[in-house]
Chains A and B, each alone.
Chain A
Amino acid sequence: MKHTDTTSINLLILNPADNVAILKRAVKEGSSNMIQDEQFIFSKSLDMGHKIAIRPIKIGETILKYGASIGFAAQNIATGEHVHIHNLTSRYTIVENMEATQK
């Protein structure tokens, strides 16, 4: 599993094939971040370890982390958008009772 840094020091891309990156540190709502040479403003505060789309992802498209599928997009996801249980669905088993943790 290869790891490459993006131009942004806040993001960690675990595999070149990935369409999501991981936040290396918590970010505040309204703060900005460079993603693929474009500036994006975070629409909400997020903790370290959460995922951000690093390119547009279409509904039904596989979401890749570690170069492997972690599920599919439940809706269209724009670059810079938070990717989590509200827009990412497991292909494995339905994760129940997780709505409470959606931020």
Chain B
Amino acid sequence: MSRRILPDSVRATHGPKAPWLALAGGILFLLSGLLSWSYDDRILGDLSIRFYPAGIQLYAMLFGVIGVILAVLLLRRPPWLSPARGLRILGTTGIVFVVWIIASVAYQSGGLINANEGGWVALVGAVLLTLAGHLSPEVDIDVRRWPRLSSTLEIVIIVVLMAILLFTVAYTLDIQDGVIFASFLIALIGLAGGLLGTGFGGYLGFIGANNRRPLLLAAFLVAFLFPFTQDGSDANMSIATQVLIFATTALGLNIVVGLAGLLDLGYIAFLGTGAYVAAMLSSSGFATIGWKPPFVVVMLIGAATAATFGLIIGSPTLRVSGDYLAIVTLGFGEIFRLAMFNLDGNNGPDLTNGPNGIPAIPDLELLGFDFGEVHTVAGIPLGRFSNYYFVLLLLLMFVMLVFTRLNNSRIGRGWVAIREDERAAEAMGVNTFGLKLLAFSVGAFLAGLAGTIKAHQDTSVSPDQYVFLESAFLLSAVVLGGMGTVVGVLVGATILKLLPEKLREVNDYRLLVFGLLLVVMMRFRPEGLVPSKRRQLEFHEEDQELSELLQAEHLQAEHLDPEQLEPEHLQGAK
């Protein structure tokens, strides 16, 4: 797992200096926050003032704080942490961070001369941190020495983490300047990576696994409370609802891709099926079907239609190997879009109004609750988008429930077996075709469900919303976040939907940026940002070190002592 750049002899002679280098690097970063980074005071939220850190200078100081913590850890050497790895991530990201800011200053104010001493001091600090990371010896993380905390303390940690999460989300959404937003994201990657990369992340996972219910409860509380922090403003809530729809759909896709291991390149068509069904059955003046059933019925019809399409596409293709499925689903996505484009009365029945789509879909009204109106709860106004946000949150919870329960069942075990070795799974009596078809149609069903709500939230449906690019984005969210996990997909979907909203400057290049991002991910972390352990193992079949570490973490989470696990017949031989 370690990437050794420096020769062993250099590491041996200079290794002992590493903690002091790291300490110096951290202090330089802290110092740089107090210095001026730019001569020009009109850019990047004014970085010209000395001894009054703001914005980006504060981010630099956070790098310093983590650097100092890791330096102290290098000196103390706890057996369950490997600060070297954290330092390497922190230092490398630090260099990227500082170079990005110096470059931005130079570009925005017309010359490198405008970059003041702060940036250069920070650059030296970042290089020192990286060097320390490469010099210091690798620690074999011993997860058996994880500290045991009382359950109250563990829950306190979870609550604090959730509070940090809520604060970070609110803070991120508040940043208006694109360059500062990007700087913050880079800093966030470096800081989180530096802390969690030491092996602390595994420990947090252990705490989370110990307190699954409080963790879920806290997470949903945070999500539920979010609209109340927006003070009736719809700006961020509109982004949030889009993120939720995207995340829900991506999570449905993750059942197909992450759990069953099938590549679906036309998934957006199932979302579209649900949306079109809801539009056609809505009371819009442009709706083409006269029947207006209640929305719950519409949801079921939309989802069932999508699932039927899934069965029709899946049954002939799932018998053969994966590549064919990818091509057929790609084709199906285009067929769906073109069919919606052409069913306008001139070429066949008038169902979709062709390229014009079905506009003016009214807001939902459930049990007398009008989603179009502003409701005031506890003095805080909740607008139209907040109303949809709550429904979508319920839907997301439902999809999460389906995902995790299917994953932890006989069916989920069958899917893993199919991913591992399809022929062997079949020879052991696993109905491989049936399980793949099930994943495909459950995924389609959930997308259809999300589509019916999306139609009402968007107020219109048209063929150009359901192009191949959208399927590609959904797949990217799954791959980027982590195949086979719920949290990973939520992270991936949030990043992919939030970035284009916040980085308007680079919107024209967003495809280029996402493409690069995915290429980099495939090189350095193919299992995604928040991978499932099993997927991580699958992507690193040759990595014995990793499999033993994850094995130890698993035993620790099951509260088993590895010493007692030697098979009986081996114990005698020792």
Q: Do A and B come from one complex?
A: no
Which residues of B line the A interface, CB within 8 A? none
Which residues of A line the B interface, CB within 8 A? none
